[in-house]
Structure 1
Amino acid sequence: MTDSSVLRLEHAAFTHPGGGGVADLELEIAPGEAVALIGPNGAGKSTLLKGILGLVPLTAGSMHVGTSSSDAATTARDGAHARNGMIGFLPQSADLDPDFPISLEQVVMQGRYRRMGLLRWPGRADRGAVRRALETVGLAELAKRRFGELSGGQRQRGLLARALASEPALLLLDEPFNGLDQQNRDALIATLHALKAQGVAVLVSTHDLELAKLVCDAVVLVNGTQLAFGPVDDVLTLGNVQECFEGVEVEIDEHTLVVPGHEGH
């Protein structure tokens, strides 16, 4: 573990108040590094992302986000501490009604609200951040277009721009490639490469193992607990994938397979 990491988890567990969660997390993400978070449905991937955001309690171990640290004891006593805008988040499902009369530019400006405060009008720095975010995702020419008129893939990229408008050091993506056509998938892959080059740390939840090979430097496998973490080629072995996805459908090289169990192998 290094002092320069953007995110570091040590023996961490995140548990919902009603039970269920993910445990035994030991991982680190440095600036400009992308890590794929891989596991079957119900494995705890979304729980981990929400835990980093402070939306699910840290119940064991410790978490370090930039210069801010927390552990299970302080979280239980004081509650989740604010992440002060250094984390951007793209949720799995869109939280905007496409029929609402709002432009793409206005949607992306929402990403500046935490920095602006409720009563401040957007300034030059805010408008510049929105413009750069739209350029990063390749949608600058559609800034004035009504959000609901965009294609599904363009709306997804617009929501990513909203997350980028806060100029985060760490970007969390929850299944961002679901339902995208090839054009928008390629655009999103290019965006992630650009963000890495800018020094943004990325943690992306996905079922797509090929995506991990194309974009990510490391992989963390989870299924209720962390099973493996390390460089892509070291972690995405047949044995690790069997352990993580036993009896579950998984996409590899654009083919959907059912990973067999260990019996008979």
Structure 2
Amino acid sequence: MSDSPVLRLAGAAFTHPGGSGVSGLELEIAPGEAVALIGPNGAGKSTLLKGVLGLVPRTAGEVALGGVPIGTGRASHSANGMLAFLPQSADLDPDFPISLEQVVMQGRYRGLGLLRWPGRGDRAAVARALETVGLSALAKRPFGELSGGQRQRGLLARALASDPALLLLDEPFNGLDQPNRDALVDTLRELKARGVAVLVSTHDLELARLVCDAVVLVNGTQLAFGPVDEVLTLGNVQECFEGVEVEIDEHTLVVPGHEGH
């Protein structure tokens, strides 16, 4: 395994054509490390993830994947399939007649190329991905018959089927019941043990404590990055979430503003 970080951002900024974005990004994620990306709505969390994917233009700084600097073009961000992404909203119609196994196989298509059918290795990768998320028994089930939490885990399996070195997750715990939440936490721990790096956007501070090694706080710009216990301090949370509802230790509260603001 390379000693290089799987992902390194150095002074990076990603900006939408309309002007909104996130800047001042300085972080590294090592193999087998999970980093929580935390901030209020509109803080730039999704922009950061899409910027790493090449879907939002980089306007400053550097990005390196696996120790290799990447350019600003979308194609250069594909990094030969080392990245996988689970977005906030599903891109599949649950009424479309397709099985869970077929959905997960979609994660192999980028590596297949034109005119090649999935082979034994592809089927094995799909089986591993389903086992990882705990859905092997439902492989042949129509995707639309799964619960919302099971569909979310199925889409995660689709991302894992490409055997990524870095997994990007955008609010994956939104709307999950406790059993599916627990299953997803277990999956993230297993991925870390395999050496997969994870960057997960979330509002859930408890999740960061449960499964993540480090936290990056953003609100338009990076406010802090480091080990969970050092970053999730009252002062840092107040600065990041000023005047915004946030859940801390299962209690929802509004973080007060600083005096004089």
TM-score tier, shorter chain, comes to over 0.9
Q: Does 1:168 align with 2:153?
A: no
Give the Å deviation of 1:68: 2.9
Q: CA deviation at 1:47?
A: 0.2
Deviation at 1:84, TM superposition (A): 1.4
* Residue-by-residue CA offset, 1:220-246 (whole Å, 9 max, x unaligned): 000000000000000000000000000
Q: Return closer, same or farther for 1:163/1:79 CA change in 2, 3 Å cut-off.
A: closer
2:85 corresponds to which residue? 89
Q: Which of 196, 214, 220 is 1:218 aligned to? A: 214
Alignment-mate amino acid for residue 69 of structure 2: S
SS at match of 2:93: coil
**Structure 2 residues not aligned, in runs of 5+:** none
State the distance in 1 between where 2:10 and 2:135 align: 38
2:186 to 190, 193, 199: 190
Question: Match of 1:257?
Answer: 253
Tell me the amino acid that sits aligned with residue 37 of structure 1.
L
SS in 2 for 1:61: strand
Q: Answer yes or no: is 1:40 the counterpart of 2:40.
A: yes
**CA apart distance, 1:66:** 1.2
Report runs of 4+ in structure 1 exceeding 4 Å deviation: none
Is the 2:4–2:67 Cα contact (8 Å) retained in structure 1? no
What amino acid maps onto 1:257 in structure 2?
Answer: L
Matched with 2:125 is: 129
* Secondary structure in 1 matching 2:81: coil
| AA of the residue aligned to 2:200 | V
User: Residue 232 of structure 1 aligns to which amino acid in structure 2?
Assistant: V
CA distance in 1, matches of 2:162, 2:116: 15
Consecutive unaligned residues of structure 1, counting only runs of 5 or more, are none
CA distance in 1, matches of 2:146, 2:191: 23
**8 Å Cα contact 2:5/2:67 also seen in 1:** no
1:3 Cα deviation (Å)?
Answer: 5.0
- Match status 1:179 vs 2:169: no
CA distance in 2, matches of 1:252, 1:4: 34
Q: In structure 2, the residue corresponding to 1:172 is in which secondary structure?
A: strand
**1:81-139 alpha-carbon deviations (Å, 9 max, x no partner):** 13211101000001100000000000000000111113210001100000000000000
Letter in 1 for 2:63: M
- The superposition leaves residues 129-174 of structure 1 with CA deviations (integer Å, 9 ceiling, x where unpaired) of 0000000000000000000000000000000000000000000000
CA contact (8 A) 1:53 1:83 kept: no
The equivalent of 1:108 in structure 2 is 104
TM-score (norm 2): 0.96
- Say whether the 8 Å CA contact 1:6–1:66 is kept in structure 2: yes
CA distance in 2, matches of 1:118, 1:195: 30
Alpha-carbon RMSD: 1.4
Maintained 8 Å contact 1:55/1:80: no
Q: How does 1:19-34 map to 2 (within 5 A)?
A: 19-34=19-34
Distance 2:231 2:248 in 1: 15
Q: CA deviation at 1:18?
A: 1.7
Could you list the per-position Cα deviations for residues 10-35 of structure 1 after superposition, in whole angstroms to 9, with x for gaps in the alignment? 00000111211000000000000000
Match of 2:58 in 1: 58
